[in-house]
Amino acid sequence: MGKMRVAVFASGSGTNLQAIIDADIQTIEIAVVFTNNPDAYAIERAKKHNIQVEIIDHKNYKTREEYEKHIIKVLGPYKLNLIVLAGFMRILSTVFVRAYKNKIVNIHPALLPSFPGINAGRRALEYGVKYTGVTVHFVDEGVDTGPIILQSVVEIKDEDTEDTLLEKIHEVEHRIYPKAIELISSGEIEVIGRRVIKKS
Ligand code: GRF
């Protein structure tokens, strides 16, 4: 099997993108970094590593569908096998999800199905749970609802603030996202219903 051609989608700082670059996963090639945000620091990170960048600002499009159709067109020539969402702050509609069916993964800063959606770290802290964590999952047509690939637990201590918690969550993210991408790109896992399991 050749290397999987991967696009990393990021809207902000891109520390997960950096972790994926640094992991130097032998079974993938990062073909392109995509962003909706012309000011995303992720762009500098990509350029520094000579990775192609595509910037398409959602603000220039009337509807989500129109925006996504354009992204699909631009990404076509990259012949992608996998889309990795790493802090991409736009919800993808069925238009995009269907175009890359079962080929999109996301990282979420909580133990799904708890605390889906935005500000998951802060909401876990405010709720008072003692353990939260990180989830890597395939993207389906819902928000943070797809089959779970990997999860890892983060303990919430009495002295934690939103900042210290997010720091711990990030550390775990940077460890498990490359691991999940390696599992997928090496063909070691399969999806059966909602369950993602090691091939026997
Ligand atoms: C991460 O916490 C991720 O879980 C969430 O967005 C954040 C992205 O951070 N989806 P970064 O841009 O990778 O630093």
Q: What does each of the 200 residues of the chain score in pLDDT, given as a tens digit?
A: 699 999 999 999 999 999 999 999 999 999 999 999 999 999 999 999 999 999 999 999 999 999 999 999 999 999 999 999 999 999 999 999 999 999 999 999 999 999 999 999 999 999 999 999 999 999 999 999 999 999 999 999 999 999 999 999 999 999 999 999 999 999 999 999 999 999 98
Spacing, Cα 90 to ligand 1 middle (Å): 12
Gap between the Cα atoms of 79 and 36, Å rounded: 20
CATH fold of 1-101 reads Rossmann fold (3.40.50)
Write down the pLDDT at residue 153: 98
User: Out of 3.40.50.170, 1.20.1340.10, 3.40.50.1950, 3.30.1160.10, which CATH number does the structure's domain 106-200 have?
Assistant: 3.40.50.170
Token digits of residue 139: 């993207």
Spacing, Cα 87 to ligand 1 middle (Å): 4
Ligand 1 closest atom vs CA 169: 2
pTM score: 0.96
Query: Is the CB of 107 within 6 Å of ligand 1?
Result: yes
Q: Where are the alpha helices (DSSP H) in the chain?
A: 15-23, 42-48, 64-75, 94-99, 120-127, 162-185
Task: Spell out the domain ranges in the chain.
Answer: 1-101, 106-200
Catalytic-residue membership of 108: yes
Gap between the Cα atoms of 140 and 166, Å rounded: 25
Query: Is the CB of 121 within 6 Å of ligand 1?
Result: no
Query: Is the CB of 147 within 6 Å of ligand 1?
Result: no
Write down the pLDDT at residue 200: 84
Q: Which residue in the block uniquely carries the two structure tokens 């979420």? A: 108
